[in-house]
Amino acid sequence: MRAALVLETGQIFFGEALGSSGEAWGEVVFNTGMTGYQEILTDPSYAGQMVCMTYPLVGNYGINAGDNQSEKIQVQGFIVKEAALNPSHWQMEKNLSRALAQAGVVGIKGLDTRFLTRLIREHGTLKGAISTDLAQSLPVLARRLKAWEPPQDLVAQVSTQKIFSLPPLVPPSAPAATVEGSGVSSGLTVAVESETSGDSGASGRSTVSRESTVSEESTVSVWPRLFEEPGVSEEPGVSEEPGVSEEPGVFGEPGVSGEPGVSEEPGVYREPKVFGEPTASGESALPQGSKVPSGLESSLGAMASLGSEAGDDRKAPDPELGADPGGEPFHVVVMDFGIKGNILRAMQEKGFRLTVVPYSTSAEEILSFAPDGIFLSNGPGDPKVVTQGIATIRQLCGQRPIFGICLGHQLLTLALGGDTYKLKFGHRGGNQPVQDLLSEKVTITSQNHGYAVAGESLGSTPLQVTHRNLNDQTVEGVRHRELPLFSVQFHPEAGPGPSDSLYLFDKFAELMQQRRAQHAS
């Protein structure tokens, strides 16, 4: 099926439909990552945007539930040069086209993404539309786009509607705990405590528990299995939904079994079991945790592929980092402006106990949880429109140690009197060099933002610049000169991207430990 990408400048790109049919509007941006397309698709920070991947081949390892960063695909549209028809990976559950189709997301492939990227760099972020309706007048569509204003209330759309809690990740040898409300025994406890009412925060808290188990051959995904929409056929390349273009991802003929790499289920690739046999040393030849997910269940709180019985290879929480010397985990309240699952997982792996709250939760209610620290998450859109969150952060300053990233970094700056502005085409990718001005160390960082803190606005504030982007010298981090508050523009959790900056979570733990020590004396 043919499709077209129409830009507000009047330029029109023709290609092939990828995913669902129909029409979608959004801001067209580009991402320079060579991998991590699934994390990009499900990152709430991309809400309202159409993402063009600069790397020419996308989808070559398929889609799996474990890499999801939220409960659904968040992008408005997806633009690639070439989409892999038959991806190959032991975790793969479906191909890219099918995932987009089942999520109702319109995409396009086969156009010149290098030229499109150059246009965005020249003109800045552009409004665009992807459409499979080529019978309409596309120049008229371009004129309509020019007058269109993108939605501004993006944070309200992606923030959680419930308050829920997440414990530190348990050591592999510890007994598995129960995911409350999910029906999964996974080494993780999730308590969905309350549901918000409008914009006023949360009402009374309650916890509902159900218990079940997952076999040793399963792992628990970050989020529930996505994209399983009713009315979509399980047969590759065939959809019960009219006008949906899908591509087959078949690796073996249906009904053939017993051969390595061939599955009786069309479109699903299984690694030959011979590679999982024990070696001479008695250890599996596969990496720990490398079992094909089967029959997984999850819930809103299940943020990690856990389960000690499934062979989890992550390290246990370090009590010197995630807890005080007495062993009590640090309790962090997370203000959710559109948080990614990998950020929550990174803090759990540091040994933090988390309470995740909607962005509209009041300062009074946040403090009622008696946290050791407060985390301000990433999220989409213009920080200046999140007035409720800015006001709440202003009230929280000085009450607890605060750590913000991405949108949270911008909101903290605005709350303390700084200013922000829109970048010409943003920073999106896993290769942004950032220098820590205090240590002069340079790290390669993962970033996804279209706005930045205005460095010249910080002179009259109590904030000090701590990090700079070495590509364009934009502000990448700040800290308060007196209070235990700091933030960075980049993503230290590496989802996707390098893990050079995980030390920032240790810094956050140190601030919380200092506060505990002060209040204990």
Annotated binding-site ranges: 45, 379, 381, 407, 410, 448, 450-451
Structure tokens at 492: 């230290």
Q: Which of 8, 193, 246, 493 is catalytic?
A: 493
Local structure of residue 438 (DSSP, 8 states): T
Q: Is 326 exposed, middle or buried (0-12, 13-18, 19+ CB in 10 A)?
A: exposed
Tell me the torsion sign for CA atoms 83, 138, 118, 378: negative
Q: How far is CA 157 from CA 73, 143, 198, 337, 465, in A?
A: 13, 27, 12, 9, 31
DSSP 94-144: B-HHHHHHHHT-EEEESS-HHHHHHHHHHH-SEEEEEES-TTS-HHHHHHH
Q: For residue 363, what is the enclosing H or E element?
A: helix 363-368
Binding site, annotated residues for L-glutamine: 45, 379, 381, 407, 410, 448, 450-451
8 has catalytic annotation: no
CA–CA gap between residue 75 and residue 95 (Å, rounded)? 17
89 has catalytic annotation: no
Closest residue by Cα to residue 25 from 103, 142, 110: 142
493 has catalytic annotation: yes
The backbone torsions φ and ψ at residue 467, rounded to the nearest 5 degrees and listed phi first, read: -140, 145
DSSP 282-309: SSBSSPTT-----S----TT--S---GG
Cα Rg of the chain (Å, integer): 23
Q: Which of 365, 406, 427, 467 is catalytic?
A: 406
CA–CA gap between residue 292 and residue 295 (Å, rounded)? 10
CA–CA gap between residue 502 and residue 256 (Å, rounded)? 46
CA–CA gap between residue 232 and residue 236 (Å, rounded)? 10
Residues carrying an active site annotation: 406, 491, 493
